[in-house]
Every structure is written in C-alpha cells, then in structure tokens.
A and B are shown apart, each in its own frame.
Chain A
Amino acid sequence: MDNQNIITLDNVRKTFRDFWLRPTVAAVDGLTISVRKGEVFGLLGPNGSGKSTTIKMILGLLSPSAGEVKLFGLSPRSIEARRRLGYLPELSYLHPFLTASETLRYYAGLCGLSRKEAASRTKELLEMVGLSDVASRSVGGFSKGMARRVALAASLIGRPELLILDEPTSGLDPISTKEVKTLVKALAAGGMTVLMTSHLLADAQDVCDRVTIVNHGKAVAEGEVSRLETSLEEFFLAKVGDVKDFRLAPFLGVSEKIR
C-alpha cells in the first residue's frame, strides 16, 4: 500500500449491463482518484454523475468492470479493509423496530466490540449526536434528522480510520448541518480520513481539503479547496456547465416575451 493513500481508484470503469450483457449505462468511465490519509476529500458532481456508483465500488458493494479499487491497499471486500471503515449512506436505512441504543449496539457487535465497550461507545455516541434522551425509543418513529444522527453515530461506532459519508447533511436542519460539519472537521483533525459526497457546495467548501468533480462518470476537475481563486460553486459550474432555465412559457401558456 502507498503509505499516504487510503483509497486508490486506478482508471476505474463501471458499466451496468442488461440480461443479455449489453451495456446499458456507463456510470463510471476511467476514474482515477487517490485519497490521502487524514484528509477530507469531497467527491462532487451533479445528479447521475456516478458519485454513488464510485462510493459503492469503494465500499465493495459493486465490482468495477475495469480498473482497480484499493482500500488501505487491500481489496474493498476483504474483512481487514472493512474493519477500518465507517459508512453513512445517503438515506439512513435503519431497522425500524430497534431502539437508538440497540441500533448502535447491533453495529458495535458487527464490528466485534465487546459488550462493555459497545455499551460505553453507544452512550458516548448518543450523547455526541444529542439523542441520549431518546435512546430507548424505536428508530421507526424518528424524524428524518434524528434517524440521520443515529446512522451517523452507527457509522462511527467501530472508530474507523476511514469514514465515507454519502450526502451527510441531507435532511438536517441548518444547526444540525453545522454540527455535522464541525464533527467532520474534528474527526479529520483527530487523524480520521473522510470521503464525502455532497450536493451542497457551500458545505463541501467549508469541510473539504481536496475535491474531485465528476461528470458523466469522468473526473473533470480536481484540486485543493484552499487554492481555489473562486468559490467552489463557481468553480463547479465552470467545470460542469451552466444552469439551464426551465422553459416555463409553454407550460404557463404565456409568450416568451413576458420573461
């Protein structure tokens, strides 16, 4: 393993195929990324650009059609790589009949933590995400924001070296969003490597050290956020393309001139 690189994607392609093995979508098309130890790396791109597919390949949930994905220098499906990984999906996907603390203890068990350790970390993390008061309530009755916090805590239960966050602030109110951003910065300062995707470019600008912008499965730009001369949003729009106006006139039944 490269001493510095936690994640390495080397000319990775992912083409989804139908039953007859004909290519249907080329979701990722020759993507090369490396994420260094201790940095907060942002994977940005418009909807359908291949971010989620890339993340799933990094997690070992999808296998690349070509190229190579390495996690800690290992195959993403190896137990050793998965032991050092935390993952927060775009939606929380919790077991609705478990309570918040049972959810965390369940994931602690999957990470191989002892009962005592699991209990103490569960308590710590629930306090950290502000859910200590509702620890014994079923998560099925939680709001989207609360469920998001439980999922975030679950992703941290194994004290991972690498945290992969898919849209971490989606569904959170502004205060919670700020708290998550502060948490990510604190985790990175503690030596954790973070890979995140986000649609909210302002959030990415606040948190990320380095970003790669993907569009149509290809990396169109890469760079350190601190060295950008413009805002990340302007940089993004310049690389991905301008905003297209909806053609509202025919829909509204009025003349284009009114605009």
Chain B
Amino acid sequence: MLSEPLSLLLLISALAIEVLAPVLHLHQFGEAVRTARDASFSALFICSTAFAVFATIRVFRREMESGTFEMAVAHAVSRGGFFLAKAAGAFIALSIFALTVFSTALVMHKGAAIGGEIAAATGRLVRVYGPCVAFGMGAIVLPPVAAAACNRFFRCRFVLTAFLFSALYSLCGGITASVISWGVTARLFPAMLLVLCPIVAVLFSAAAFSMRFKANGAATAAALTLALILPAMDNYYRVEALSRGGALECAEVLLSILFALPAFAAFLLIGVHFSMGRE
C-alpha cells in the first residue's frame, strides 16, 4: 500500500493542509492553536479515510484480478488467514500513515502554541511561527527530494522511499515536540485514536468487500460503512471538545475503542467469509 503513488499524494496533501492552513488563516482569526488543531484533524480524517478506502481496495482488488490470491491459497495458506494477514498489513500501513500525519500535527500544534504565547507577550499578532512552519514545509519537500536522490544514485523505489522518509522525518519531529512538552501529545493523542476508530472500521470494510465486489462496489460499500459508522460513533464531536480547551477523558477513548471493536470484528469476519466463498 505504501508503494502506491496515491498513498504518497494523499500523505503530501495531508501535510500540506496541516502546514499551510494555519499559515494562511492565522491572521484572519488569530486563533493559532485552534486553527492548527482543526487543520491537523481534518487532514488526518479526510486523507486517512481516502487512504483506507482507495489504497486498500486497489491492493486487494489487484490481488484478486492478477491471480496472486489463487497462487497464494494454492499453498498451505488458508483463505481466511490470508485475508486476515493482508488486512493486518493494511492496518499497519494506515497506522504509519496516520502517525506521520499526527507527528506533523504535534509540531504544528506546538508551533501554534508558541506563536500564541509570543502574540500574548508582545501584543502583536504573530503570523508565521518560524521553526515549526519550516519543519512542516520540510516534511512536504525534503522526503520527496531525498527519495529522488536515492532513486537517482541507489535505484531505490521513489514512492516507497519518499513515504518512509516522510514517516521517519515526521516521527522524529513529533517525538522532539513531545519531549519538549508531553502535554501537547497527551492532549492530542487520544483525539487521534478517536478519529482513527471509524477509519479503521472503514479500512476493514473496504478490505472485506474487495474480496467480493469489484472496485466501484467495494468503494460504495466502504462509503456506506463510513456514513453509518461515523454518526454512530460520534467521535469527531468529542474531538471538537478540544477546541473549548478541554481534555479528552481516557475512559471516553477506551469506550470508543470498545465500541469500535465489534465493528472491526464484524468486518473481518465478513472478509473471511467472502474469501472462503470466493470462486
């Protein structure tokens, strides 16, 4: 999934929304922290959902259409086991994607917070919060450039290398931001888990329905899953609570995850069922 050009495009789009939205809108509202948070979680939600649906369907359908599924299950591999292993792989790819986006969110959020402090101290609106924006711009530009260099000199695969460099770069930034102030991470990490819960359900549904339907059908089924599960989980509204300065209760997050687990299990079972019945 990480080798798909679409994955890299989605990742760069997510980072661009995170970095550019606060920069371009900060002076309009003067609410740096809120803008950074909104942009981050919107980017996380929109791009991760697109990644979960399109990249998953593409990878699973290609497996079906190229006959590699039949080749794999001709060996001593159970069909259900094969599906579960692939779904787990897709889940890990989504986790890498989401963590990359989230790590940049931490840096931007931290930068916005610093910007806010300067604004308060000097009484002047701070529009650009230097190092953090520079880091964000670097997250958009540097990994592709480094990957291009690796492709040129070591013949590494561009998309995969760029994706992994991006993940590494952003994670380093995220960890640094967390070490400077664990408070930011502690506030935002539960929100990330909340946003990710329905997306993982959508991922498993896309994977499951890809075993039975063609790409368009699987995408429709995944979209329906999203439409059904999103209001039911009500998670985004709880993330909204952050903007009012509150923190998310751990119990709330755990409850959401517990609520999502049956959905995960249901879609995985559907996927196993479809893969067993595949002819």
- What residues make up the interface of A, taking CB atoms closer than 8 Å to B? 18-20
- What residues make up the interface of B, taking CB atoms closer than 8 Å to A? 151-152, 155, 158
Closest chain A residue, CB of each to CB of B151: A19
Residues of A within 8 A of B155 (CB): 18
A19 vs B151: C-alpha distance in the bound complex, in angstroms?
Answer: 9
Q: Give B147 Cβ to nearest chain A Cβ, in Å.
A: 11
Q: Give A211 Cβ to nearest chain B Cβ, in Å.
A: 33
Closest chain B residue, CB of each to CB of A20: B152
CB pairs A–B below 8 angstroms (5 shown): A18-B155, A19-B151, A19-B158, A20-B151, A20-B152
Residues of A within 8 A of B152 (CB): 20
A19 vs B158: C-alpha distance in the bound complex, in angstroms?
Answer: 10
The 5 closest A-B pairs by CB, nearest first: A20-B152, A19-B151, A19-B158, A20-B151, A18-B155
Residues of A within 8 A of B151 (CB): 19-20
A43 vs B22: C-alpha distance in the bound complex, in angstroms?
Answer: 63
Residues of B within 8 A of A19 (CB): 151, 158
Q: Give B40 Cβ to nearest chain A Cβ, in Å.
A: 32
Q: Give A258 Cβ to nearest chain B Cβ, in Å.
A: 27
Closest chain A residue, CB of each to CB of B152: A20
A239 vs B158: C-alpha distance in the bound complex, in angstroms?
Answer: 40
Q: Give A169 Cβ to nearest chain B Cβ, in Å.
A: 22
A55 vs B152: C-alpha distance in the bound complex, in angstroms?
Answer: 31
Closest chain A residue, CB of each to CB of B155: A18
Closest chain A residue, CB of each to CB of B153: A20
A19 vs B152: C-alpha distance in the bound complex, in angstroms?
Answer: 9
A83 vs B155: C-alpha distance in the bound complex, in angstroms?
Answer: 42
A18 vs B155: C-alpha distance in the bound complex, in angstroms?
Answer: 9
Residues of B within 8 A of A18 (CB): 155
Residues of A within 8 A of B158 (CB): 19
Q: Give A6 Cβ to nearest chain B Cβ, in Å.
A: 37
Q: Give A143 Cβ to nearest chain B Cβ, in Å.
A: 16
A18 vs B158: C-alpha distance in the bound complex, in angstroms?
Answer: 11
A18 vs B151: C-alpha distance in the bound complex, in angstroms?
Answer: 10
Residues of B within 8 A of A20 (CB): 151-152
Q: Give B162 Cβ to nearest chain A Cβ, in Å.
A: 13
Q: Give A141 Cβ to nearest chain B Cβ, in Å.
A: 13
Q: Give B108 Cβ to nearest chain A Cβ, in Å.
A: 31
A18 vs B152: C-alpha distance in the bound complex, in angstroms?
Answer: 9
Q: Give A171 Cβ to nearest chain B Cβ, in Å.
A: 15
A20 vs B153: C-alpha distance in the bound complex, in angstroms?
Answer: 10
